[in-house]
Amino acid sequence: MRSLLGFILTLSLVFAGAISYAQNSDYEIWMSDQGNTQGITATNPKGSYGGKVRIYSSKDLEKNPPIDNPLVLDVATDLFPTALQTTGDNVNRIHGILPAPDYKYVTLNFVASGHLGIVNSQTKKPICLFRTTQTNTGRQNHMSFVAHDGSKILLANQNGKVLERVDVTKNNQGKITGFQYNADASLDLVGGTGRILGQPIAVDVNPFDDISCTKTGVILDGQSTITPNGIAKQAANIRSNNTVICPIISDDSQYAYATLGGGGMFVVDINATPMQIVAEYDVNTVHSAGCGGHSVNGSMYLNTGTPAPNNSEFTVYQFTQDYKKAPNFDLPNQPSPIAVWADPDNGKILPGNNRDAHGLVVTKDKYLHQFDRVRNNVEVFRADKTLEYKGSYSLKNSGACKSTLNAVTEDDPTPDLADLDLKDKRIYIALRGTLPQSVAHAAVGSCPGLGIIEVENKKSGRLAHVLPTFIESGDARDNLSDPHAVILVKS
């Protein structure tokens, strides 16, 4: 207890000394940087694990020009230094980062090590550290999503091919009292015996904050290999590889649209325990590797992007949010998508010129900006009752993207995940690095950093600024920084 108390006091002093950026702002922009920060040596120049969270104040960002003065937290040393001892591995490759609906906490998702970290957005101190289920196909946490009612967090155990759930408990005043990893709720998207090799892990990082971090139940081996319709969950030409990518949650916090790496999608009733598939789509209806979603006027808009090198894929879908609740379910590929916009080059092999739809944002005026990670442009749609294409704009040729150390391309922003400011005047976006830690076939960029897009006439924009990020390799030859996700957190 004495050593733990000493660690917490030391951590508090680290935070107190680190916060020098502008405070008391309207909002903050949090950005995850996947680049390794630990184990960097001359003989291991690219490092072994770690990453950074960079937090920018709106008071700095909205100056002209913006002030580049973020609070920088190392995920391994500042946030989760005891991860190896308590969970069996260091936190590695911070991929997704999402806020709670009330902005009281932020989820940090580690795709390589399978951790979910929960951090208090006001104090910047860690609350919980979880680790996902180990299966015979892996253990990851690609992304997590918080239900709109704040009642649960869904985890995309990507290579594990399991959808998992953390339940959020609150007292009568609505204050959070605990995060409970509910293993009984887990849904194996493949099924069969011999799948489950290790149970989830829960660590209460700060035992003095009156918030518990626990695990309950057991994820069972031998879950069904078929959907409620009697069709194989995973099979060639149906859903060939059920790596769960992004479980986007419906407005009523009832369903998740779980996109899959090999194509196809499951709509899952997330309030059932265990969670249950209530709609299924095959690869011919929903293509592979979707990880962008946003609801507008009762519809859910989703995308799919390139799954492999030189394979072009850029599609935007409009789905209903009206599904049956468990134990009921719909027939395969029903309800059909309301609308689909697909690039005519989809499926073609276009070396150096393929497409990749990934991050997207929707303005208050219901214009959907869909980013292309490969071609550095943005397709714009009117997202209302029906999907309506409105045109395109480029993120190149603005002069903002300055090449970093050892860049192999020029003027190559490579936009990833993004968020809007509070007035719909700016889009803040993560720009990928020269040594991408994920999807290298689509994510090599020349100017890693925080991109600021000035929105023009609702349906156009310009990359006005790039606040560069840098992590020096052990041999001083490369910039290891690889930003992946950006979120807005209201102060």
**Contact of 358 with 291, CB cutoff 8 Å:** yes
Please tell me the distance from the alpha carbon of residue 390 to that of residue 395, in angstroms, as a whole number: 17
Structural domain boundaries enclosing 209: 2-290+408-490
C-alpha to C-alpha distance for 49 and 46, rounded to whole angstroms? 9
Q: What is the pLDDT of residue 78?
A: 98
Structure tokens of 435?
Answer: 């040594």
Q: Quick check: is 351 in a domain?
A: no
243 occurs within a structural domain: yes
Q: Which residue blocks in 199-261 are alpha helix, DSSP H?
A: none
Query: Hey, what amino acid is at 109?
Result: N
Q: Is 352 inside any structural domain?
A: no
Give yes or no for a contact between 244 and 223, defined as CB atoms under 8 angstroms apart: no
User: In the numeric block, which tokens belong to residue 385?
Assistant: 């009752």
DSSP code of 178?
E
Give yes or no for a contact between 269 and 276, defined as CB atoms under 8 angstroms apart: yes
In a domain, 365, yes or no: no
- Per-residue pLDDT tens listing for the chain (491 residues): 333 333 333 344 333 334 456 666 799 999 999 999 999 999 999 999 999 999 999 999 999 999 999 999 999 999 999 999 999 999 999 999 999 999 999 999 999 999 999 999 999 999 999 999 999 999 999 999 999 999 999 999 999 999 999 999 999 999 999 999 999 999 999 999 999 999 999 999 999 999 999 999 999 999 999 999 999 999 999 999 999 999 999 999 999 999 999 999 999 999 999 999 999 999 999 999 888 899 999 999 999 998 888 889 999 999 999 999 999 999 999 999 999 999 998 988 888 789 999 999 999 999 999 999 999 999 999 998 889 999 999 999 999 999 999 999 999 999 999 999 999 999 999 999 999 999 888 899 999 999 999 999 889 999 999 999 999 999 999 999 999 999 999 98
Q: How far apart are CA 179 and CA 156, in angstroms?
A: 17
In a domain, 235, yes or no: yes
- Tokens 């009984």 sit on residue: 184
CA distances from residue 471 to 73, 316, 439, 479 in whole angstroms, order as listed: 13, 35, 19, 5
Beta partners for residue 461, in sequence order:
455
User: What integer pLDDT is reported at residue 23 of this predicted model?
Assistant: 66
Say how far apart CA 115 and CA 110 lie, in whole Å.
5
Q: How far apart are CA 391 and CA 411, in angstroms?
A: 22
Q: Is residue 343 part of a domain?
A: no
Residue 295 inside a domain? The answer is no
Q: What is the pLDDT of residue 352?
A: 76
Strands 196-198 and 126-131: unpaired
In a domain, residue 421? The reply is yes
- By the 8 A CB rule, do 249 and 148 touch? yes
Residue 95 vs residues 36, 81, 143, 484: alpha-carbon distances, Å: 12, 18, 7, 6
Strand (E) or helix (H) holding 418? strand 415-420
Nearest to 302 by CA among 255, 353, 368: 368
Question: 260, exposed or middle or buried, with CB in 10 Å at 0-12, 13-18, 19+?
Answer: buried
Coil/strand/helix, residue 246 = strand
Find the angle CA(235)-CA(265)-CA(113) to the nearest 5 degrees: 85
C-alpha to C-alpha distances, 239 to 263, 264, 284, 290, 293, nearest whole angstrom: 6, 5, 9, 13, 20
Looking up tokens 């990453």 gives 51
* Sign of the four-CA dihedral 411, 417, 491, 364: positive
Q: Please give the C-alpha separations between residue 224 and each of 132, 186, 189, in angstroms, as whole numbers.
A: 20, 12, 9
- Total of domains in the chain: 1
The widest CA-to-CA distance across the chain, in whole angstroms, is: 64
Residue 184 has what DSSP assignment?
G
User: What number of residues does the chain have?
Assistant: 491
Contact predicate 130/201, CB 8 Å: yes
**Rg over CA atoms, the chain:** 21
SS3 77: helix
